[in-house]
Amino acid sequence: QVQLVESGGGVVQPGRSLSLSCAASGFTFSTCAMHWVRQAPGKGLEWVALIWYDGSNKYYADSVKGRFTISRDNSKNTLYLQMNSLRAEDTAVYYCARDRGRYGNTLPDYWGQGTLVTVSS
Amino acid sequence: QSALTQPASVSGSPGQSITISCTGTSSDVGNYNLVSWYQQHPGKAPKLMIYEVSKRPSGVSNRFSGSKSGNTASLTISGLQAEDEADYYCCSYAGSGAFVVFGGGTKLTVL
């Protein structure tokens, strides 16, 4: 069955960096686009970033553009999110989610359990 | 990247039907049949309930149905059950600019 397991969350000071990983299993990772979606405490879902199945195209929400970088290693079935210049408003549970297709426009189907990132001094 | 508009809360009694609306624009909901709905119980990951406006994934009860008219998508839950009490989010493809946009979420209370 499809499994997505995020890791790398924690407490980080404003302005610092953090890297998240998402280990995928149970499906052919290299044929699916992947998303990062976050949820601030008590708030709704916010789309963060998308990467195509082959890594050739990446898209970002305006709120993270220029600070976050999404990447993937299809040989390791792993998705990444490098987060730089973190702000208090980046505090959230970060979910990785599989898209139903190769290009991300068919939207997520399976989601991981999430990893909490807390930005605080 | 404006969020889609959902009512903050809806409620219904067991056995009744409820409908949650999701209003976007001609750049997202109105332009693509690529709307999904997710159910989220407290402390849990979202679960896909409807995709491509009205299609149900395998294993999702047929009490859940989706539709769209113009810029507004809707999720209907019939025969409400206590286990349906959760937050529900709509999501739409929004083109290569904004790409993906979520609604603000609707809290469903089963009375």
Q: What is the dihedral of CA B92, B90, B39, A79, to 10 degrees?
A: 30
Contact A47 B102 (CB under 8 A): yes
What pLDDT shows up at residue A104? 85
What pLDDT shows up at residue B2? 66
Contact A105 B91 (CB under 8 A): no
- Tell which residue, B35, B99, B109, B110, has the closest CA to residue B72: B35
Mean pLDDT for A35-61 is: 96
Mean pLDDT for B39-46 is: 97
> How much is the mean pLDDT over chain A?
97
What pLDDT shows up at residue A106? 86
Nearest CA in chain A to B58: A109
Mean pLDDT for A31-43 is: 97
Amino acid at position A25, single letter: S
Mean pLDDT for B81-89 is: 98
Kindly give, in sequence order, each residue whose CB lies less than 8 Å from that of residue A9, ignoring residues fewer than 6 positions away: A18, A20, A93, A94, A115, A116, A117, A118
Among candidates B34, B44, B103 on the partner chain, residue whose Cβ is nearest the Cβ of A105? B34
Query: What percent of chain B stands above pLDDT 90?
Result: 93
